[in-house]
Chain A
Amino acid sequence: MKPILLIIIIIVSINNQHIAGEKHMIISLLKGYYYDISDANTTENETIIYDGFNSETTYEDITVYNTIYECDAHDPLLSEEDINNNNINCIQIDGQAKSLKSPSGNNLYLELNIPNEEKVILTNEAYEANGKRFSVHDYLNLEEDDIKDLAKKEANDNNIPTYNFEIEFKYINFNSDNTKNYEFKLFWTWTKIINDNNETYRIPFKLIIEGENNLKYEYSGIFNMSKQPENPEDFIVSSDIELNSNNETATFTWDMMNSCILITRHLDNSTIIDGCSSN
């Protein structure tokens, strides 16, 4: 499996491949879902104020899809042929998808909301070079590859060997009564070296846990990777975080492929959380 495709699994949630008509696939953090764009009767327009990583954005004319399927196959690497040749079992579940696309078809905003379980949002996709940002929001009539070319040209014209790709990701986990349990925001930035396959990653994150009595626990840090690991199982990132209670520091480790968290206190090397050892 090519490493770059693994990144696609993690981040890029939309797949333009269709199965059995007009279902579009969404990868959430927990399961694989599809939303049915053929059910025109269930669409409506609405405005969303998105509280992003660095700023707040208002999206208008968001299309809402009320027909959601949970399927037993959700690998974005599957081709259309793969999908059609495999029997994919889907059940309709409660939930909504919200989508806003540019005239050229780029995804400006995508949200999947499964009540009592989770909400996933992907937005603010952009390329960046030489300090200039080329966002899908600013180039509504250009396809993504053309926007990427603008960034590459900006880099080339200024003798800069790299350009960046950015996308914002928000995951909200709900309790069984649909109250918020925790929120995990990531601002993926990966730097691509022109004429080279090497890439580096810088992933600022914020983790906000809802406590009792309106007490919130907030953590922030930056995951850095100098290059993609050759073995996908080694896609593990770490960052220091500061505990809210006493300002002591800890190491926050996210094993992406095994989907688990490890937190170790610097004070005494004791482990606060080890979601990985039970794998």
Chain B
Amino acid sequence: MLKKIIITFTLLSICLCCLSCDALTNEDDETSQQYNIEEEIKHLKKVTRLKTHQ
């Protein structure tokens, strides 16, 4: 009985671990496709000057 419990617990841990890994992976994928504030600021800095005359 104890052996069964240990096996079940081990399997459950592995499953939870996999789910967690999957979630992390998805999160990473999502982040790479989303806007990032540091990146955005870097791009905004392209527009420091808008000359209208000299």
Name A residues whose Cβ lies closer than 8 Å to a Cβ of B: 9-10, 27, 29-32, 74-75, 171, 173, 181-182, 184, 207, 209, 211, 215, 217, 243-246, 254, 256-257, 259-261, 263, 272-275
Contact = CB atoms under 8 A, between A and B. Distances in A.
B46 A261 contact: no
Given A217-B40, A244-B35, A261 B54 contact: no
B3 to A, nearest CB: 51
A32 B48 contact: no
Given A244-B35, A245-B36, A245-B37, A217 B54 contact: no
Contacts of B53: 9-10, 27, 75, 257, 259
A215 B34 CA distance: 9
A256 B52 contact: yes
Name which of B40, B41, B47, B54 has the most chain A CB atoms within 10 A of its CB: B47
Contacts of A257: 52-53
A209 B49 contact: no
A209 B44 contact: yes
A259 B51 contact: yes
Nearest to A31: B54
Sort chain B's interface into a size bin: 10 to 19
Given A74-B54, A244-B35, A245-B36, A209 B43 contact: yes
What 6 A-B pairs come out closest when comparing CB atoms?
A: A275-B48, A259-B51, A245-B35, A245-B37, A245-B40, A10-B52
Contact of A272 (B39, B41, B51, B54): B41
B45 interface: yes
Contact of A261 (B37, B40, B49): B49
Interface string B9-44: 000000000000000000000000011110111011
Please classify the interface of chain B as helix (H, G, I), strand (E, B), loop, or mixed, using the class held by over half of its residues: loop
Given A29-B50, A29-B52, A260-B49, A211 B44 contact: no
Contacts of B51: 29-30, 259
Contact of A182 (B34, B36, B46): B46
A260 B39 CA distance: 21
Contacts of B35: 215, 217, 244-246
Given A259-B52, A272-B44, 11 more contacts: A10-B52, A75-B53, A184-B47, A209-B44, A217-B43, A244-B35, A245-B40, A256-B52, A257-B52, A259-B53, A272-B41
B53 to A, nearest CB: 5
Contacts of B41: 272
B30 to A, nearest CB: 13
A181 B44 CA distance: 11
B37 A259 contact: no
Name which of B34, B36, B49 has the most chain A CB atoms within 10 A of its CB: B49
A217 to B, nearest CB: 5
Given A211-B43, A217-B40, A217-B43, A273 B52 contact: no
A256 B49 CA distance: 9
Nearest to A73: B54
A254 to B, nearest CB: 6
